[in-house]
A = this chain, B = another copy of it.
Amino acid sequence: MTPAQARLAARQGPARPTSGQAPGFTQCNMITLPRDWAWDFLLFAQRNPKPCPVLDVTDPGSHRTVMAPDADLRTDIPLYRIWRDGVLTEEVTDATSHWAEHPDLVTFLIGCSFTFEGALMAAGIPVAHVDQGCNVPMFLTDRDCRPAGRMSGRLVVSMRPIPADRVAEAAMISGRTPAVHGAPVHVGLPEALGIADLQKPDFGDPVPVGPGQVPVFWACGVTPQAAVMASKPPFAITHAPGHMFVTDVPETRWQA
């Protein structure tokens, strides 16, 4: 599947997670906010670069991005979430009518850990949620992000169970791509992040941690959604967790 084919599938539906689609190409988290909130959010992202690596920002009112010139940000994500005053009010597969509610929406595309999963798999490190054909499990931790203006919230992490003898290599491989979350923020000990039950993720699907495997946690681009819930901007549109924007940018762009 090429990036354009993945976006066409997203436009036509049905909605499904994009992990494993268009191998070799960068996938992004998305959040769009009224211009009045854009400064606070961009500053929040700058202050929290591990969960919020900003890869592109549109001009106000635009639904185009240099990362995929023929794409329409209003339709080319499989599933959107509509937020009003910090409350999730709807999930839709086409956000065109919601986008039209505000003339000056500024859209942020944020790096996604799916981008380094190809490199993990190429090294023979299993990625359980890809093997199982489900969404990656994500957890709201008890770690506060550094606030910016009206924007605050807690860190969200994604979890991948990694064989104990491959954890160091997984850290090094993902660490080579800091623009897409980079190295893990935490290895083992979910309770130290305030995670009570690894089988009850806050977003995505549960994935078992098998014998000889260690849960490894990466900063997650769903963190902006947690910030929306906590900060209550009047309006926001985001992707639904795991349902990413597939771009035309090769993953290799982000290798340090």
Contact = CB atoms under 8 A, between A and B. Distances in A.
Interface string A180-196: 00100000000000000
Interface stretch (A38-46, A75-83, A203-211, A232-240): A38-46
A175 interface: yes
Contact of A42 (B43, B176, B177, B178): B43
Contacts of A38: 39
A256 B43 contact: no
A256 B57 contact: no
A178 B49 CA distance: 13
A54 interface: yes
Contacts of A176: 256
Given A47-B57, A57-B47, A256 B182 contact: yes
Q: Size range of the interface on A? A: 10 to 19
Contacts of A54: 46
Contacts of A39: 38-39, 42
Given A38-B39, A39-B39, A178 B256 contact: yes
Interface in A37-71: 38-39, 42-43, 46-47, 54, 56-57, 59
A179 interface: yes
Contacts of A43: 42, 57
Nearest to A183: B256
Nearest to A49: B179
Nearest to A254: B178
A149 B106 CA distance: 13
Contacts of A178: 178-179, 256
Interface of A: 38-39, 42-43, 46-47, 54, 56-57, 59, 149, 175-179, 182, 256
20 contacts: A38-B39, A39-B39, A39-B42, A42-B42, A42-B43, A42-B46, A43-B57, A46-B54, A46-B57, A47-B56, A47-B57, A59-B149, A175-B256, A176-B256, A177-B256, A178-B178, A178-B179, A178-B256, A182-B256, A256-B256
